[in-house]
Amino acid sequence: MLLTENANNLEMVLNSLKDRISENPLYNALNFSLLEILQESDLEFLDRVIFLPRVQALIILTMLYERMNKCENLIERDTILDDLNILSDILDKAKKIAEEELKSQINLLINQLNLLNIHYNKIRNKIDYIRNHI
């Protein structure tokens, strides 16, 4: 639940940044291609929630950096720097979400392995019991 909530918050912030640079045709083309690839992929929903914002953030980062290099107006440059800082925060949060999800998946696998081990031992004990009583 927390993971999905964090991902939704990231998506909201990312969308506000996207609105600022969406007039750039290159961004729109890259983003459209990315969405097409993701829709055709076998990624689970959670993987898409984590993966998509990170890739979009990298696309936005490239666009903002390009705009900043061409920019001569200091006020606009400051705005772009603010956007870059927001983007940096988004990437950090996306990384934390991915790490939390990975830890969660590892713990789930460990628990499943422990359950399998318990069942294996029970079956093994039954086999040994039957062997000893034949």
* Of residues 118, 72, 86, 69, the one with CA closest to residue 18: 86
- Coil, helix or strand at residue 20: helix
On whether the CB atoms of residues 34 and 48 are closer than 8 A, the answer is no
Tens of pLDDT, residues 25-79: 656 666 666 666 555 555 565 555 556 666 666 666 676 767 777 777 777 777 7
Question: For the chain, first and last CA: distance in Å?
Answer: 53
Helices (H), the chain: 2-21, 25-40, 45-70, 74-132
